[in-house]
Amino acid sequence: MSFKKAILASLMGTSMLSGLAMADIKIGVVASSTGPVALVGIPQKNTVALLPKSVAGEKISYIFLDDSSDPTATVKAFKKLIDEEKVDAIIGPSGSGNAMGVIQFAAESGTPMLAPVGTAAVVLPMTEQKKWVFKTTQNDDLIASALVEQMKTTGVKTLGLFGTSDTFGENWSKVMTKMAADAGIKIVAKEYFKRQDTSVTGQSLKFLISNPDAVLIAAPGSSSVMPQVTLKEQGYSGTIYQTHGAALDPFLRLGGKSVEGTILAASLMLVLDEVPDSEPKKIATKYVADYKELYGEAPATFGGNVFDAGLLLTNAIPTALKSAKPEYTRVSCRSSKYAREHKRNAGYPRRL
């Protein structure tokens, strides 16, 4: 069996036996360190330096490629890593839409793909192709459930949805439409925009007309800022919610006073100092400390999603090595203790 399939089997909790010649383990990493999704991709790129350099006595080398937030460039990067670099697994990409566009290449080549993206669509509904994908970010419904619960508690009766016109925004619309209905919250407006848009004035005016109690903005990275700033500038006075896509310091710096009072739900990594020691936070605490030492600032949670991918591989590779060797083995880590810790550290609403 190939090393790629051995990694897949290991991640899935099964094993097969074979023996082949040894080689370094090669992991490809694709992130958007430039372009509209750069606020997500930069901490992911930076995290590569903190990923394990070896496991089970075998050296791991990482090959990083920037896709500039462009889905076409993501495809080229994946093909290069698979066909030319012969990597054993790939971590990435940064964007949900970008990820959806490369699943087929990971599956066709038998390359495990550890996707640090928001949308659950990369793994659900499960298909033969999607079995090669392992998602490290909290699913939308987990984050949405925390937000909806907070809305119910504070008496929100009407809601507007303001999302990106891509997989990220569309999946959030799907999730929130059902959850809001179940909670007795009426969605009175839905508007979409492209991440590269320079104005959302037209869409924003429609929210002022419908005047919902609250608006949820479903957009990742820097694209989450403009809709909120525009709503505030036009006089919207209701509560504004954001997804885990806005869980980063640059959101606060770029939005300024316009984002004060925002409510969002994201990983506990945002508030590690407030988390009791009884919670499983040692791994996250060390990651944040190491990142600060290397870069002089705390990482966004998006970087943590790439670090989680490294932990999954670290847990899977030793098992895979029992079945095959690098260049012919591949890993799968759906049920590791790290995945359980990551899931547990999610879904807490916070007011900024």
Side chain identity at residue 342, one-letter code: H
Distance of alpha carbon 198 from alpha carbon 110, whole angstroms: 40
Query: What pLDDT score does 149 carry?
Result: 98
Look at 309 and 322; give whichever has higher pLDDT.
Answer: 309
Q: Is 186 helix (H, G, I), strand (E, B) or coil?
A: strand
Q: How much of the chain exceeds pLDDT 90, in percent?
A: 78
Q: Which one is predicted more confidently, 217 or 350? A: 217
Instruction: Of 123-137, 174-188, 335-349, give the lowest mean pLDDT range.
Output: 335-349
pLDDT band at 203 (very low <50, low <70, confident <90, very high): very high
pLDDT band at residue 14, thresholds of 50, 70 and 90?
Answer: low
Other beta carbons less than 10 A from residue 111's beta carbon = 25
> What pLDDT does residue 18 have?
42
Closest CA to 165 of 88, 108, 218: 218
Whole-number Å distance between alpha carbons of 40 and 225: 13
Per-residue pLDDT reduced to its tens digit, 43-100:
999 999 999 999 999 999 999 999 999 999 999 999 999 999 999 999 999 999 999 9
Position 335 pLDDT exceeds 50? no
What local confidence, expressed as pLDDT, does residue 339 receive?
41
Position 40 scores a pLDDT of 95
Q: How many CA atoms lie within 13 A of 183 on its CB side?
A: 25
Residue 1 has pLDDT above 70, yes or no: no
State pLDDT tens for residues 15-54: 444 444 456 899 999 999 999 899 999 999 999 999 999 9
Tokens of 218: 């479903």
What ranges in 247-336 are assigned the alpha helix state H? Answer: 249-255, 282-295, 301-321
Flag whether pLDDT at 283 surpasses 90: yes
Residue 345 clears pLDDT 90, i.e. is over it: no
* pLDDT mean over 294-304: 96
pLDDT band at 183 (very low <50, low <70, confident <90, very high): very high
List all residues 6 or more positions away from 29 whose beta carbon is below 8 Å from its beta carbon: 44, 45, 48, 62, 63, 64, 65, 90, 91, 92, 306
Look over the chain and give the mean of its residue pLDDT values, rounded to a whole number.
89
Spatial distance between the Cα atoms of 277 and 234, rounded to a whole number of angstroms: 44
- pLDDT value of position 2: 72
Percentage of residues of the chain with pLDDT beyond 70: 89
What is the reported pLDDT for 352? 52
More confident residue, 328 or 248: 248
CA distance 209 to 140: 28
Distance CA 266, CA 147 (A): 10
pLDDT at 4: 77
Q: What is the mean pLDDT of residues 212-219?
A: 98
Supply the pLDDT for residue 336. Answer: 42
pLDDT band at 9 (very low <50, low <70, confident <90, very high): confident
What pLDDT is recorded for position 191?
A: 98
30 sits in the region (left: phi over 0; alpha: psi -120 to 50; else beta) called: beta
Asked if residues 302 and 94 have their Cβ atoms less than 8 Å apart, the reply is yes
HSE, CB side, 13 Å, CA atoms: give it for residue 239. Answer: 20
